[in-house]
């Protein structure tokens, strides 16, 4: 079972990917993690990717897919995997599709966690982070015991720049421009499944499970 997670930043797709991975015993493959691992281990692909990153350039799609295929060729992926954070654009999806076809392989499901922009802006605007220990909270869904203070270390909680409404709005604009077209791409392939991401986290997960267990 090979799954791609889709959804806007803050829709909760990363959380759902982890829960799916746990339930079905599949690796949760995040492109960010793979890049870091390859660079840290000094692999040939990691060295090549680092050259682009050091120059402030985007890593080409072909190289990203090579690094990804190298990861999913490992033993723990033989029963499937969940891709989180890739593809982000139509060209990336096409390169991945072509590479998998050449391996006589394909993606089984593209799961879109659907949440309106307004909900995401409100949701992310409620996040608070402790810069001292890294703990995260939400003023509505996961409030600290004492307002503005970290339960774990007692330091002040802040609204990170990434979570400020104007930053979130910009990230959503980029998502709609670059990533939203993937929904049509996978819909045409007949593998797109949409779930309502505004529901409670476990309800969203149960909806995904009912799709995967059919």
- Give the residue numbers annotated as catalytic, written as ranges: 13, 88, 127, 160, 171
Nearest to 2 by CA among 86, 90, 61: 86
- Alpha carbons within 13 A on the beta-carbon side of 27: 16
What is the DSSP annotation of 148-177?
TB-TTT-PBEE--GGGSHHHHHHHHHHIII
Nearest to 83 by CA among 31, 149, 131, 46: 31
């Amino acid at each position: 079972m090979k799954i791609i997670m889709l959804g806007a930043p803050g829709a909760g797709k990363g959380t759902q990917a982890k829960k799916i991975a746990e339930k079905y015993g599949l690796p949760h493959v995040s492109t960010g993690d793979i890049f870091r691992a390859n660079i840290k281990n000094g692999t040939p692909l990691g060295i090549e990717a680092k050259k682009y990153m050091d120059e402030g350039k985007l890593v080409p799609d072909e190289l990203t897919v090579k690094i990804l295929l190298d990861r999913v060729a490992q033993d723990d992926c033989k029963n499937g995997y969940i891709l989180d954070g890739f593809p982000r654009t139509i060209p990336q999806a096409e390169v991945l599709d072509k590479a998998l076809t050449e391996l006589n392989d394909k993606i089984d499901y593209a799961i879109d966690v659907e949440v309106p922009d307004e909900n995401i802006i409100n949701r992310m605007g409620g996040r608070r982070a402790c810069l001292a220990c890294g703990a995260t909270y939400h003023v509505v869904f996961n409030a600290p015991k004492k307002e503005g203070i970290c339960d774990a270390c007692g330091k002040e909680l802040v609204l990170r720049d990434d979570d400020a409404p104007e930053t979130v709005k910009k990230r959503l604009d980029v998502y709609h421009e670059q990533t939203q077209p993937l929904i049509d791409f996978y819909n045409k392939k007949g593998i797109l499944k949409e779930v309502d991401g505004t529901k409670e986290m476990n309800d969203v997960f149960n909806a995904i499970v009912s799709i995967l267990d059919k």
